[in-house]
Chain A
Amino acid sequence: MTLAPDRTSISPTAPHVSEPTHVAAPHHTLNTRLSVSGGAERTHPPKKSGEPNPMGHLTNEQIEQIGIELDAIRAEVMNSRGAKDAAYVRRIIKTQRTLEIGSRALLLFSGVKVKGVRPAFWLGTAGLSLAKILENMELGHNILHGQWDWMRDPKIHSSTWDWDMASPARQWQHSHNQLHHTYTNVLGKDTDLGYGLLRVDKDQQWELFHLGQPIWHLVNAMFFEYGIAAYDLELRGNLQNWDQLSDEDKATFKANLHEMLTKIRKQCTKDYVVHPLLSGPNFGWTLLANFSANIVRNVWSNTVIICGHFPDDIQTFETDSIDGETRGEWYIRQMLGSGNISGPTLLHILSGNLSNQIEHHLFPDMPSNRYETISPQIRDLMQRNDLHYTSGPLLKQAYQVYRKVCRLALPNEEPGRTRWSVVRGEFGKVLKGQGGARTKRHAPSTAV
């Protein structure tokens, strides 16, 4: 099996002149990320904040070599996918469905008291929470990434799967698979960087709104699926710039919104009407159980995801640093822009193997059950190249994120000014009616 295509050797016999006389139109140029070797000499200048470029210490040859090694690791795994992997995902599907049906059956008796407690309520809520977590992460997220498309089973396929989330699968695939995974941790391009809600990097501009972010963060975690849905719709950007949108964009937005509301209505009808009604006199307890399971699932998936990108030691990248980016550079950005959670196998499964966020970001379409097995190779490769492999236990990583969310609620110190004086200055502007700082924000760019 060959590695990445070697474009320069496609026609080795053709004695091309070194300087082409015609420059092809942009879309004629192949995506530079398809190749580990860059055409032009690449440079890695420091960031605007003065921080060094995260891959500044590597030569172009080293970066190319990293790309070749990672392509080889990918090829080895992808060529060995087989019956065991297929059995794994089918087993998870079966387990998840059995657990969900069992828990919902138990919840039919959610109000029944035995010796002062309601065992069906507690067991059913716990079971349903687990089932929703499995469905959301190890199944939904990963199947929608195309990790199981290779099985050619139309029922377990990225183009047909749907999940128990507010976001319609296709809309989420656009904002997640395409934007977030392509532009991981690129300031201004990766809207996952704080979800347009939080300031999680010093290099992100501070606004008055961020003062409340410790609270926004908690609310976002509890209702994460709706946060994600609003974010998939680019709700705020679209509403703020409604007058500037073309008729076509408006129509697309309305169609997406309609699709999403239909989906949300169905999800809510299921959890808050149908199942409570089926449990008859236990209506209220079942409703509470379903609501709780959704909150548990939301907080869990939010926690796993913030631990994947926002703990200390995880790098961000300047917008213009990715122009003409090679496959090797893209790989390095994925490794430095992600962090792992260490823990037992159960944690890996319940996190949808996003505990191996670094491996997932390198190979988003690799079956999730393989991430843990390649992680020693990835760790070794990063250490050899003096790249920090971020990994830690769940609580430690989550603590770092919460601490960062609190710290960055305040602006960076400016020369001659304390953080509080910057805050007071912004308040002053608002009070004088110069408009809130929010209006300075640019809608996230979604151009590809």
Chain B
Amino acid sequence: MRHMTAAPPRPARGVLPALTSGVWKVAAAAATPIVPTEILDMIAPLRAGAELRGRIVAIHRETDDAATVVIRPGKSWRGHIPGQYIRIGIDIDGVRHWRAYSLTSRSDAADGTISITPKAIPDGLVSNHLVRDARPGTLVMLDQAIGDFVLPATLPAKILFVTGGSGITPVMGMLRNLPLHPAADIVLLHSAPQPQDVVFAAELAERAASGQIRLSVRHTDVDGMLDFAGLDAEVPDWRERKVWVCGPTGLLDAAEMHWAAHELTDALHVERFRPTIIEPGEGGEITLLDSGLTIDADGSTPILDAAEDAGVLMTSGCRMGICFGCVVTMRQGAIRDLRTGEITTVEPGDELPIQTCINAVAGSCDLEV
């Protein structure tokens, strides 16, 4: 499981490291069954060697429904390449939720902070919380930055960014890390429903004025969606440009079709926010990841029973939801508690220990079994 055990100090040679390792062993023997890092975490959660955490230091409003959250990461932070994203784990109503956000800050900020710029969306639990309720001082869990939606080390001569909505965030991360007069010709086509929805509107305009980018902002409520068929008029040399596209699924699909149709797929980079959306259903497929087995189950049979019917004996206990002896890790999918009807979903990339004896599959679920 992720974030489960703290790594002991790595072995090293020499008198001082040997002493440190000796002290560590004594500390471990004195603290068992908890590891000494647990106690250090109470005092210095952001120290070097700790699991990566961060503290929110400021929250700046960008638009009515977007805000920039400035975070000071712990000393274990390894830095990021502009365009990458981080996963952030934050407790909301006592429950920890993990979501991914593109980094919008400079990668070399003098104060060592990083930032993300979430946009509140309907049913977007974490984004809504970060934009409206989160407060500076809050400790959050972090993952190291990942993602290959980045500019190459040697900048291409001509670049086209196509962004929609909060798809501007990774591109903003790139622009802020580029010189104001880069050795590249950069065009940014951004779409947002209305003028007041454009995140970073003022800063984008400034960057356009200073000549860093050629900016075209489209207000889709008035102008309609961007149609790549009309790209020749807006960016006549688009075929010569390396392209980065980030935004809603429709925009990404259209871009992929357009560049594929012109056999220019190599020039195109896309970043998908949410590769899959989990839609709960009634019954469905249970996939056992270790064995690769897939089981069809109805919506009223506990996952444990369905697996046993299919000949897979999973760990089990009381069979009524009280002993937690049947807990396995769900990697993605949706399940329904047969006692309460409550639906639990796990997004891809996330994971959750679940009780198989009282939950039925609701759509599909992938289990580490």
Contacts and interface: CB of A to CB of B under 8 A. Distances in A.
Contacts of A1: 340-342
Kindly state the interface size class of chain A when it binds its partner.
Answer: 35 or more
Interface stretch (A120-128, A153-161, A301-309): A153-161
Contacts of B308: 27
A308 B355 CA distance: 27
Contacts of B316: 448
B30 interface: yes
A204 interface: no
A158 B324 contact: yes
Given A154-B4, A174-B317, A266-B33, A145 B324 contact: yes
B351 to A, nearest CB: 10
B339 A34 contact: yes
A270 B357 contact: no
Contacts of B309: 27-28
B327 A158 contact: yes
Contacts of A173: 323-325
A278 interface: yes
Interface stretch (B12-20, B93-101, B215-223): B93-101
Contacts, number: 152
B322 A177 contact: yes
Contacts of A5: 300, 338-339, 341
Majority SS at the chain A contact face: helix
A329 B4 CA distance: 39
Interface in A157-179: 157-160, 162-164, 173-174, 177-178
A146 interface: yes
B108 interface: no
A365 B40 CA distance: 29
Nearest to A278: B30
A274 B319 CA distance: 42
Contacts of A263: 33
Interface string B26-55: 100111111000110010000000000000
B30 A270 contact: yes
Contact of B353 (A85, A159, A181, A364): A159
B358 A152 contact: no
Of A5, A173, A365, most buried by chain B (CB within 10 Å of CB) is A5
Majority SS at the chain B contact face: loop
A7 B302 CA distance: 12
A182 B322 contact: yes
Given A86-B94, A269-B29, A365-B322, A178 B317 contact: yes
A294 to B, nearest CB: 14
A151 B94 contact: yes
Of B29, B323, B355, most buried by chain A (CB within 10 Å of CB) is B323
Given A149-B324, A173-B324, A181-B318, A162 B29 contact: no
Contact of A174 (B320, B325, B339): B325
Contacts of B94: 81-87, 150-151
Interface of A: 1-5, 7, 10, 27-28, 30-31, 33-34, 71, 75, 78, 81-87, 94, 97, 101, 104, 145-146, 149-155, 157-160, 162-164, 173-174, 177-178, 181-182, 263, 266-267, 269-270, 274-275, 278, 327, 330, 364-365, 448
17 contacts: A1-B342, A3-B340, A10-B300, A28-B305, A30-B300, A30-B302, A75-B340, A97-B42, A151-B96, A152-B97, A155-B3, A157-B353, A162-B33, A178-B323, A269-B32, A364-B323, A448-B316
The 5 closest A-B pairs by CB, nearest first: A86-B94, A177-B323, A2-B341, A146-B324, A178-B323
Interface of B: 1-4, 26, 29-34, 38-39, 42, 91, 93-97, 299-302, 305, 308-309, 316-325, 327, 338-342, 352-353, 355, 357-358
